[in-house]
Structure 1
Amino acid sequence: MKKRVLITGAAGFLGSHLCDRFIAENFHVIGMDNLITGDLKNIEHLFKNEHFEFYNHDVTTFVHVPGNVDFILHFASPASPIDYLKIPIQTLKVGSLGTHNLLGLAKEKNARLLIASTSEVYGDPLVHPQSEDYYGNVNTIGPRGVYDEAKRFQESITMAYHRFHGLETRIARIFNTYGPRMRLNDGRVIPAFIGQALRGENLTVFGDGKQTRSFCYVDDQVEGLYRLLMSNYSDPVNIGNPDEITILDFAEEIIKLTGTDQKIVFKPLPKDDPLQREPDIKRAKEILGWSPKVNREEGMKLTFEYFKSLSKEELFKSEHKNFSKHNRS
């Protein structure tokens, strides 16, 4: 019989690519998403596949999956500042209650669980690049704290279940990832820049643009996550591309890529926005035999082609998600 994997956040950017990967690896995939930020169009190509099923469900409530489950990947969480600032309580709940529910399910099913943590656990880092033994510099009561602390708690409770119950767990600290199926208007730097360029708008850079990011193409990210899940390593592992670039230089690359002549305009830097992001991936190299293969030039061409294929309606629409019912205490 096929191995069965539950993927939460299945209709999101990374979740949908993981569904594709596990179908390709001959798994039976159970996708779960409450569609706050996910979109069914990301997985509709899988609906006719007899080895894919989908549950529209919020993991912050009790999670039941009939039958055996061999693996669980917990990717249900808002991931962009626009989202988690609009739904801060739900963001905290999916990292805490949602993770607790899935750990309970993993314990019941004797399944291995991988959680999607983030480079945001490092906050605005005081060390560079960031390695897994760095504890971070996070403002717990700042606006970004709802996401940062949700992920830090998620790591803590996951390790508690691993130590106390002997549960097989994996922790991926995911750095900036990009590629097809990103939401155009979710506020993250790559879709923001490309969307502005395609609409003929000036590119918005926050602060002086000297802050850095390191971008990993989605295929590389999925490969790293798959290898981590199948490994025997339970401590956190950074999965990201260490090719660091300033936001200002990246804006110039976007202008060159898109063939547009927009200007770059500057706005104040949001509170607690990290000034440096670069993963130390020694652990991933040593334990997983993994390092990214797709360079930024190649990955950005593929991503730009995806965004160019969107309709004018998609290109010019703003986000219309109704978050209100999901933001109750």
Structure 2
Amino acid sequence: LALETYLLKQRRIPIVCRFCIKNQENISIHLTRVCMKTESKEKIDQEVSKSRDLMIEYLWHCRIIDYKTLSSVVTQLDKVQPLIKDLEKLGGFVINKPEDEQITGPLNQSWDTKLRKEMQSSGLYQKHPLDCDLLAGFGKFLRDDNNIPNFKQRYVANVSRFLFYMDSNKPSLDFVNNLEKSRSFFTKLADIGQKKQTIANYMKNLKRFLRYIIAITSLIQTDRALFEQCKHFLLCLNELQKSMSKQVSKEITGKRYIFQIDPHRNLFLKTLMTRKQMRASSFPQPGTRSTTHPITYKGFIPSKYTTVKRLIVGMHERYCYDKWRSQQVKMRRDYVIGTKQLKYPKLNTILIY
């Protein structure tokens, strides 16, 4: 009998008391002794029955939650994901969740920690649900008609962020009537520190969205005035993108200039690499015997220079170059580099250089 009582106690489902808001193993005893000790037995039985019905209702309907419901209540993506994890830890289930690759941040951005924090604090990462009526058709158009992989994070997500910035209540086409606020979105991205290429990607995604609205949807039949306004907004966006393209070109040119090597330094490095190759090939290998002295550098004219990879220069080579360059009286197109070697180095020393 004691064993049966113990097993029944283990199987007992705790019920929440509505008065003290605590789980109780035996709700009837708890109400009789604590929360409803002054009430009649009939009221206590009614409360016990009501508490059990609420628990059954919770088990039937509240453990399974739709992702759309959560995203409509909590619009910030960085807050929805921790909420889902907490619900799943507590035994809940969230259905219709997007895939992990569909809820990541926007592509083609340099993920600097400080920049990302500023984007989040300014609210530019907030977006509308990607499966809303306005964006669902755009995503289907990209997937079916254009065969674009990862269309949600490449196009739809950026458009959704722009629409959220223009109207946080619901996604709509009313942004075409507010050119100043639309321009401020791109200005705000630049002020935060986003690259010009990233801002250009936002513009390109928005242009594709407007082309879809103009050419694919039936907006021309339902709202002619809004259709004309979308065309005007697209023209303004084209002009804005032209100026941004020039800035992107300057940004790319600046990066290329940073990685360029000085011509004089390039000549020195090529000569130095050729000397290393000749030294390694002319020095006797271990286990062999040389009857003649190794070839010296005097009179050696390399026929083919070794290609030097960018930014792969040893500290010793850099020191040698700086010292050699500082000793030049005037710059000439041809250089003569002389070396005096008292004894031939060992193979290990050669390999180090």
What TM-score range do you get, normalising by the shorter chain? under 0.3
- With the length of structure 2 as denominator, give the TM-score of the two structures: 0.24
Instruction: Choose between structure 1 and 2: higher strand proportion.
Output: 1
Which of structures 1 and 2 has the bigger CA Rg?
Answer: 2
